[in-house]
């Protein structure tokens, strides 16, 4: 595989699924677990999982500051579910002292759709895609507030669930689940752009 190297933060969560989606697109995806691996990436995926755990692990492994610096410097990033929380500048219902990468001018509410038993899936219209995506929401966040430079790409239950700001893309749901790679394709366009 050639082209830019897209790292997938591999501390916890849907790492394997994101790597498989990138591979289906012919993109080079690598696991990112160590500080020096952050510098080897041209872009980064922050996967679904548990945002508090991922933030704590990233902090204890010395990854938070390099991730923050790279995102602030313009590195493309794609956050899904917990990854959306990590990319957000502000979080509601987070753990005390919850660590964030930041960069995305949104306020996100963790577990906004409810507990694990409230998880759901279904078709979701996404701006820029001809047909709906099959969206899987698992203890998903939603966006409470968007900054002036944030474009809302999709909504569910009256709240934004997919947003883009510059070279940052985030979804409340899990596009890595299943065979539809169109959202990863949108991210690849941001990487190439």
Residue among 99, 155, 176, 184 flagged as catalytic: 176
Q: Is 81 a catalytic residue?
A: yes
Worst-scoring range by mean pLDDT, 88-97, 118-127, 168-177?
A: 88-97
Question: Interior CA angle at 170 toward 71 and 154, to 5°?
Answer: 150
pLDDT digits (tens, 9 = 90+) for 64-87: 999 999 999 999 999 999 999 999
pLDDT at 2: 67
Name the residue ranges covered by the structural domains of the chain.
5-192
Query: Is the domain defined by 5-192 classed in CATH 3.40.50.880?
Result: yes
176 catalytic residue (yes or no)? yes
Distances (CA, A) of 64 to 22, 47, 112, 152, 178: 24, 15, 25, 26, 29
36 catalytically annotated: no
Q: Which of 18, 41, 174, 184 is catalytic?
A: 174
Distance CA 104, CA 88 (A): 5
As a whole number of angstroms, the distance between CA 1 and CA 21 comes to: 13
Reported as a single tens digit per residue, the pLDDT across 129-169 is 999 999 999 999 999 999 999 999 999 999 999 999 999 99
Whole-model pTM: value is: 0.96
Mean pLDDT, all residues of the chain: 94
- Token code pair at residue 19: 């790597």
Tokens standing for 15? 């790492």
Tokens 């830019």 identify what position?
A: 4
| Residue 93 binned pLDDT confidence (cut-offs 50, 70, 90) | confident
Catalytic-role residue among 17, 18, 41, 81: 81
**161 vs 98, more confident:** 161
d(CA 44, CA 30): 9
């Amino acid at each position: 595989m050639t082209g830019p190297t897209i790292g997938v933060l591999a501390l916890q969560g849907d790492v394997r699924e994101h790597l498989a989606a990138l591979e289906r697109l012919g993109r080079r995806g690598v696991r990112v677990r160590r500080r020096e691996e952050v510098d080897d990436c041209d872009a980064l995926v922050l996967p679904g999982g548990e945002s508090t755990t991922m933030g704590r692990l990233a902090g204890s492994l010395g990854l938070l500051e390099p991730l923050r610096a790279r995102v602030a410097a313009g590195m493309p990033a794609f956050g899904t579910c917990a990854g959306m929380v990590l990319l957000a500048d502000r979080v509601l219902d987070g753990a005390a002292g919850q660590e964030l990468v930041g960069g995305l001018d949104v306020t996100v509410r963790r577990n906004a759709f409810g507990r694990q038993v409230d998880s759901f899936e279904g078709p979701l219209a996404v701006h820029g895609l001809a047909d709906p995506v099959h969206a899987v929401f698992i203890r998903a966040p939603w966006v409470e507030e968007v900054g002036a430079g944030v474009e809302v790409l999709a909504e569910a239950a009256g709240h934004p669930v997919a947003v883009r700001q510059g070279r940052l893309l985030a979804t409340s749901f899990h596009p890595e689940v299943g065979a539809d790679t169109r959202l990863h394709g949108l991210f690849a366009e941001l990487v190439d752009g």
